[in-house]
A and B are shown apart, each in its own frame.
Chain A
Amino acid sequence: MPNTYTLISSNVLGSSAASVTFSAIPSTYTDLVLKASTRNSSGGTCVIATTFNGQASGYSVTRLRGTGSSASSGRTSSATYLYFSLTDSTYTANTFSNWEMYLPNYLSTTSKPVSNFSVTENNATASYIDVNAGLSNITSAITSVTLTADGDTFVSGSSFYLYGIKNS
């Protein structure tokens, strides 16, 4: 049987960048997995804004968050991006947040459900664990994914890996 968990592309930043895009994603696979380790440059907490195919509409997220002292849930609807994860410039130096997004059936002609899991840990307060259910109303194949440090930049050393999973 073939190995089906394959690295499509990676990007380890050599200098700060406002966004990272994986484009020309091949239609070779069934599902996509995106893993990232990020830290932002300034401004405290920062959202990693995720969009597909350059589309800036039709996203929503249901979120479950643990802060180390309490759990809560929230929602973003009819948004311009998938509101995923946090990265924080105030954390201890060299501490990055980590997250994973699972996008099944990215070639399908239906809306796309997404699962996301992200953590920020700082050996202190103000750390988070987020699990998110996301939805994109894009009904065409996903050919590009853009991650933007909303209003900020990802620092050098932030890393992004896109994997393809094939079910046959």
Chain B
Amino acid sequence: MPATYEPIATTTLGSAAASITFSSIASSWTDLRLVLVATASGGTKFLRFNSSTTGYSNTWILGDGSSATSGRSTSYPRLDLNSQDTGDSTPSLDTVDVFSYAGSTNKTCLMTSSHDENGSGQVMRQVGLWANTAAITQIDLLLSSSNTWSAGTTATLYGIKNA
């Protein structure tokens, strides 16, 4: 059986950093899966494809321990992962599955965010869209307001092949 779930690259921060970048992503796979286990100084976690600052939208559902809400962003300059789980020392888990990332259609993805803090926290699921037909060759993980990813943050990009 061929390998269908392969690590492309992984980063473990030895010191705080403003961004984590996966670049020169080959078109060897069908889908991408990003796994981020992070702490950060604050701000909103978000990503961009190919350094683009246009064409993003998402629809989300969120539970904060007391209520469930849903919302949407359109014509947005980035894809937010979760806006309220940074600025503390408890690691959060985010995953992003990007489908047909090397194809010539707009790019859709499913995103999960899990951040429980023993008495607070959020759980979130999203569908995201990057309305761009270019192949994705770069993913940047960023934080708003000049915040930084903390040392120990890990990010791994996997490639999934359908044949």
Contact = CB atoms under 8 A, between A and B. Distances in A.
Given A131-B63, A133-B122, A135-B90, A113 B6 contact: no
B18 interface: no
B114 interface: yes
Contacts, number: 140
A64 B156 contact: no
Interface in A131-154: 131-135, 137
B55 interface: no
A60 interface: yes
B116 interface: yes
B116 A105 contact: no
Contact of A72 (B2, B67, B112): B67
Nearest to B64: A73
Interface residues of B, number: 41
Interface stretch (A35-43, A48-56, A74-82, A91-99): A74-82
B103 interface: no
Contacts of A78: 118-119
Interface string A1-13: 1111100000000
Contacts of A167: 7, 10, 35, 154, 156, 158
Contacts of A104: 35, 37, 93, 154
Interface of B: 1-7, 10, 35, 37, 61-68, 70, 90-93, 95, 112-119, 121-125, 152, 154, 156, 158
